[in-house]
Amino acid sequence: MKTLRIAAIAALLSATSAFAEDYTAGDITIAHAMAFETAKNAKVGGGYMTLTNAGDQADTLVDIRSDAVPMIQLHKSETDANGVARMFHLEDGIPLPAGETVTLEPGGLHVMFMGLDGNPLVDGEEVKATLIFEKAGEVDVSFSVEPRRGDAMQHMNHDKSD
Ligand SMILES: [Cu+2]
């Protein structure tokens, strides 16, 4: 009986880790890479992940590329004094200080999947992309597409000037 129980727990753990796989590139660990499903006619979708730099030197996520979507960029959302959220293309990338964790999350730093227009991100699918770090090099990751939680992203205006 004991063996059976351990097998059941192992199956549960592997199911969980398949859902949120971790990736590494040098001293950088990439965890919880996910994206929210998008409406059928949405032009953009957001991608999120947690980046940990376990090294003793600062690094930078300089860019991201993907063959899965027409355009992909690193963005930052900011809310102005009138409560209007806008986002900006981070052309210099995202700094990753030594020994720190940087989280891409709704309302802040994010990956922007662009030009979707009729090809939405679908719950249960994955979006493959390549992260490009200044020092740690390149690593392929998959963003797991998950159902929307609330509508936080719906009210954002996309800054077309980027
Ligand atoms: Cu954006």
pLDDT in tens, the chain (162 residues): 555 555 555 555 554 444 567 999 999 999 999 999 999 999 999 999 999 999 999 999 999 999 999 999 999 999 889 999 899 999 999 999 999 999 999 999 999 999 998 999 999 999 999 999 999 999 999 999 999 865 544 445 454 443
Bridge-based pairing state of the strands 28-36 and 94-96:
unpaired
**Contact of 73 with 162, CB cutoff 8 Å:** yes
CA of 58 to the centre of ligand 1 (A): 24
Q: What pLDDT score does 158 carry?
A: 53
Report the length, in residues, of the chain: 162
Q: What pLDDT score does 13 carry?
A: 53
Q: What pLDDT score does 32 carry?
A: 95
CA of 10 to the centre of ligand 1 (A): 38
Q: What pLDDT score does 1 carry?
A: 53
**Contact of 97 with 53, CB cutoff 8 Å:** yes
What does the alpha-carbon distance between residue 146 and residue 20 come to, in Å, rounded to a whole number? 11
CA of 75 to the centre of ligand 1 (A): 5
CA of 148 to the centre of ligand 1 (A): 16
Q: What pLDDT score does 18 carry?
A: 46
**Contact of 75 with 153, CB cutoff 8 Å:** no
What does the alpha-carbon distance between residue 64 and residue 73 come to, in Å, rounded to a whole number? 6
CA of 22 to the centre of ligand 1 (A): 23
CA of 150 to the centre of ligand 1 (A): 17
